[in-house]
């Protein structure tokens, strides 16, 4: 089970990130978007697709490299990591990305995973999570995503166990994956919880658009 430790979570921004550390942002966008009826990555806010909006949020949070987990989209020029384990949900994309990082010899990096369908996430929140994750990683108490981890031997060990479960046909959730990693839990506030909203249906998308319009 995940640790009961609650991370201290002061207000921070990307300027507090350690310059010598590589921060990798991963956009999880390999789903079929069946309930939405169209690819969620292509939904637009003020003329900007969710895919590019999420990319810009990660860059503003301080990520030095952006990876797309899923399939190639028009206008995307960064690295795309195909899902090696189809029909495994978000975990399939997570383990595919970690497997690529491991095989590339990349170690001791801070990796931030965000879903494509959370358009209210702010760069300030994500930067603060990356700062908090300096030792093992963290996630919000109200949701398994977004989450941050620091690649190390334990991460790759749990990666191997999860891949074994997937190949055995076992159900694997993001929550279970996080529990195995023993990440820190960040206490939620109303302001943080409001940013965790996922959009899966046209009605939810309309609600998010209204929310963003009210903020302007």
Q: Looking at the domain assignment, is residue 138 inside a domain?
A: yes
- The helix (H) or strand (E) run that includes residue 108 is none
The count of other CB atoms within 10 Å of the CB of residue 129 is 27
Q: Looking at the domain assignment, is residue 146 inside a domain?
A: yes
Q: Using a cut of 0.85, tell me whether the model's pTM lies above it.
A: yes
Q: Looking at the domain assignment, is residue 139 inside a domain?
A: yes
The count of other CB atoms within 10 Å of the CB of residue 162 is 23
CATH number, position 35: 3.90.550.10
Q: Looking at the domain assignment, is residue 35 inside a domain?
A: yes
- b or e along 83-116 (b: 16 or more beta carbons within 10 Å of the residue's beta carbon)? bebeebbbbbbbbbbbbbbeeeeeeebbbbbbbb
- 20 by Cβ neighbours in 10 Å (0-12 / 13-18 / 19+) ranks as exposed
Residues 62 and 145 sit within 8 Å (Cβ to Cβ):
no
Q: Looking at the domain assignment, is residue 176 inside a domain?
A: yes
Supply the range of the domain harboring residue 67: 21-215
Q: Per the structure block, which two tokens stand in for 129?
A: 């999570």
Give which of 134, 146, 183 is closest to 6, Cα–Cα.
183
Q: Looking at the domain assignment, is residue 16 inside a domain?
A: no
Which residue numbers in the chain have pLDDT < 50? 1-4, 6-15
Q: Looking at the domain assignment, is residue 109 inside a domain?
A: yes
Quick one: pLDDT at residue 4? 41
Residues 100-139 pLDDT 10s: 988 876 557 899 999 999 999 999 999 999 988 767 899 9
Quick one: pLDDT at residue 145? 95
How many domains, the chain?
1
């Amino acid at each position: 089970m995940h640790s009961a430790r609650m991370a201290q979570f002061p207000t921070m921004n990307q300027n507090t990130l350690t310059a010598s550390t590589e921060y990798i942002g991963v956009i999880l966008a390999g789903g079929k978007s069946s309930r939405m009826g169209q690819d969620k990555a292509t939904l637009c806010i003020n003329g900007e697709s969710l895919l590019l909006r999420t990319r810009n949020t990660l860059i503003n949070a301080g990520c030095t490299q952006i990876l797309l987990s899923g399939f190639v989209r028009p206008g995307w020029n960064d690295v795309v990591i195909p899902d090696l384990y189809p029909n495994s949900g978000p975990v399939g994309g997570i383990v595919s990305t970690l497997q690529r990082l491991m095989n590339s010899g990349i170690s001791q990096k801070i990796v931030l995973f965000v879903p494509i369908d959370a358009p209210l996430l702010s760069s300030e929140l994500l930067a603060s999570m990356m700062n908090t994750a300096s030792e093992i990683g963290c996630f919000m108490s109200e949701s398994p995503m977004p989450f941050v981890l620091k690649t190390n031997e334990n991460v790759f060990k749990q990666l191997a166990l999860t891949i074994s479960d997937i190949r055995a046909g076992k159900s694997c959730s993001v929550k279970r994956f996080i529990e195995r990693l023993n990440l820190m839990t960040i206490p939620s506030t109303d302001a943080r919880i409001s940013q965790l909203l996922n959009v899966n249906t046209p009605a939810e998308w309309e609600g998010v658009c209204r929310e963003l319009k009210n903020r302007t």
